[in-house]
């Protein structure tokens, strides 16, 4: 009964399936894992170091891909802030269950906050953008929050054909820029990462700047702060940030090379379909549907 330990194979992991004598009618089904294992090299892309952040914690490295196509001004500031070491020595000061972790400088008094150096003190809201010059890999599945969902350059996204606008979707691992009540009050110093159920109600209400592609398990386990907001009352609960650096500022030998499955690849489409309509032995009833935030975005170390 060793299968006992195989129960609940993850939608997010390349779980090993139990060996099974394939039934004739299922002989053509390939699991997402099998599709990925057989995927050609060109279906994968390398992370661009100029577009990659390393959030260095005592527990390890969290790797973030930035989204300049959606938030050019915020990403510009983030690059400057990282290059100048703004976050080094600051902390993760918020962890709210089923919501977000947040980091930066929590000092309330503006005059006492860490200097933003040569970053811009004021940025526009970048909640959505024109869709017509974006390559949008449409997911055929319905979505309650937006007319259409899919992926742009590997990021979960949505668009509205009527308005011609596109925006990034808030899913697990989404990185956004905290703001006050004014829509244009984010300056990209205070960043949050989604650690729970996709809070899609935030879509088009706040600027999304990227996505954690590796290391979520270092953020998602942080002790929760007190309700309702999860801001730690005790600074001893802060998680220190050793550094946030652009990968391009890191010596090549210290970088973490990663490949991401292209969301416009056949392998991605096929793996998503294999998850939408599972025919592996464990599943009794294929869902016939997948939510944009349930689609795994595979990451791997490059083959040597």
Which residue from 292, 295, 69, 66 is spatially nearest to 170, judged by alpha carbons?
292
Q: How far is the CB of 14 from a second copy (least distance, A)?
A: 6
Which residue from 53, 59, 12, 18 is spatially nearest to 248, judged by alpha carbons?
53
Looking at beta carbons only, is 159 or 204 nearer to a second copy?
204
Q: How far is the CB of 154 from a second copy (least distance, A)?
A: 17
Structure tokens, 60: 């390890």
- Per CB under 8 A, contacts with a second copy among 266-285 are 275, 278, 281-285
- Per CB under 8 A, contacts with a second copy among 40-79 are none
Looking at beta carbons only, is 26 or 135 nearer to a second copy?
26
The size of the interface with a second copy (CB under 8 A), counted in residues, is 81
Looking at beta carbons only, is 51 or 198 nearer to a second copy?
198
- Per CB under 8 A, contacts with a second copy among 226-245 are 227-231
Contact with a second copy (CB under 8 A): which of 220, 248, 256, 265? 220
**What is the rounded CA–CA span in Å between residue 13 and residue 281?**
17
| SS3 (DSSP) at 292 | helix
**What is the rounded CA–CA span in Å between residue 215 and residue 173?**
9
In degrees, rounded to 5, the angle at the alpha carbon of residue 225 between the alpha carbons of residues 219 and 210 is 35
| SS3 (DSSP) at 98 | coil
What residue has token string 């820029």?
177
Contact with a second copy (CB under 8 A): which of 254, 289, 301, 302? 289
H helix runs in 2-142, sequence order? 32-37, 72-83
Q: How far is the CB of 142 from a second copy (least distance, A)?
A: 5
Looking at beta carbons only, is 88 or 205 nearer to a second copy?
205
**Is residue 115 within the footprint of a second copy (CB under 8 A)?**
no
**What is the rounded CA–CA span in Å between residue 240 and residue 126?**
29
Structure tokens, 156: 């979960």
- Per CB under 8 A, contacts with a second copy among 4-33 are 4-16, 18
- Per CB under 8 A, contacts with a second copy among 147-206 are 171-173, 178-181, 183, 190, 192, 195-206
**Is residue 97 within the footprint of a second copy (CB under 8 A)?**
yes
Looking at beta carbons only, is 219 or 247 nearer to a second copy?
219
Looking at beta carbons only, is 262 or 275 nearer to a second copy?
275
Which residue from 220, 215, 175 is spatially nearest to 195, judged by alpha carbons?
220
Which residue from 2, 32, 35, 36 is spatially nearest to 19, judged by alpha carbons?
2
**Is residue 138 within the footprint of a second copy (CB under 8 A)?**
no
């Amino acid at each position: 009964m060793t299968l006992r330990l195989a129960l609940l194979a993850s939608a997010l992991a390349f779980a090993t399936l139990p060996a099974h004598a394939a039934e004739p009618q299922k002989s053509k089904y390939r699991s997402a894992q099998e599709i990925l294992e057989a995927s050609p090299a060109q279906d994968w892309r390398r992370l661009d170091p100029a577009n990659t952040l390393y959030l260095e914690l005592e527990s390890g490295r969290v790797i973030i891909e930035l989204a300049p196509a959606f938030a050019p001004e915020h990403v510009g500031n983030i690059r400057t802030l990282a290059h100048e070491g703004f976050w080094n020595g600051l902390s993760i000061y918020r962890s709210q269950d089923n919501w977000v972790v947040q980091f930066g400088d929590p000092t309330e008094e503006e005059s006492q906050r860490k200097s933003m150096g040569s970053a811009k003190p004021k940025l526009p809201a970048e909640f959505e953008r024109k869709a017509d010059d974006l390559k949008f890999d449409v997911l055929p599945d319905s979505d309650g929050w937006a007319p259409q969902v899919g992926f742009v350059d590997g990021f979960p996204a949505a668009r509205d054909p009527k308005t011609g606008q596109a925006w990034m979707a808030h899913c697990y691992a989404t990185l956004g820029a905290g703001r006050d009540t004014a829509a244009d009050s984010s300056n990209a110093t205070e960043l949050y990462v989604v650690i729970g159920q996709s809070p899609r109600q935030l879509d088009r209400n706040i600027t999304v700047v990227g996505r954690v592609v590796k290391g979520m398990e270092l953020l998602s386990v942080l002790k929760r702060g007190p309700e309702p907001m999860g801001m730690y009352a005790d600074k001893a609960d802060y998680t220190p940030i050793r550094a946030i650096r652009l990968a391009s500022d890191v010596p090549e030998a210290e970088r973490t090379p990663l490949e991401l499955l292209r969301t416009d690849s056949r392998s991605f489409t096929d793996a998503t379909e294999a998850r939408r309509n599972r025919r592996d032995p464990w599943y009794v009833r294929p869902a016939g549907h997948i939510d944009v935030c349930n689609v795994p975005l595979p990451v791997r170390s490059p083959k040597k």
